[in-house]
Amino acid sequence: MTVLTEAQHTGEFLLSEAPGTLSREKGILTSGVVVADGDVLALSAGKLVRATQAEGSEVLVGIAYGAHDATGGDLADVPYIARLAEVKLDLIQVNASESEPDSGVLAELAGLFIISR
């Protein structure tokens, strides 16, 4: 019997968010960057990039909503959760080598009113 593993669904990391699109923003994903649903995002030169665990070295802006691939050049209109949301701690990540975001990242997200549970 073949075993199938289902990938994470878009927005599966969300427990709740504000009504309508109040929690969401759109931005430009920097050329060469690939993000997965639930990746923590930061700004670099006014464009979105994957955040790192380097505390204080970047300004976090939210969490990627959906998977996006900008290997072919800058990608416009990339949605992300920017405020007023509750998220599942085990489904958000800063980088693949860490099992969950560190306390500094979680505190910075909490400053955006993105609370992990």
pLDDT digits (tens, 9 = 90+) for 60-76: 999 999 999 999 999 99
3-state percent breakdown (helix, strand, coil) of the chain, nearest 5: 10, 40, 50
Mean pLDDT in residue range 45-49:
95
What residue ranges define each of the domains in the chain, with the CATH number in brackets? 14-116 (2.40.300.10)
Phi then psi dihedrals of residue 90, to 5 deg: -75, -5
The pLDDT of residue 117 is 92
Strands 75-81 and 24-29: antiparallel
Q: How confident is the model at residue 55 (pLDDT cuts 50, 70, 90)?
A: low
pTM: 0.90
Nearest C-alpha neighbor of 62 from the set 100, 90, 26: 26
Six token digits for residue 63: 């969490």
Task: Tell me what the pLDDT averaged over the chain comes to.
Answer: 92
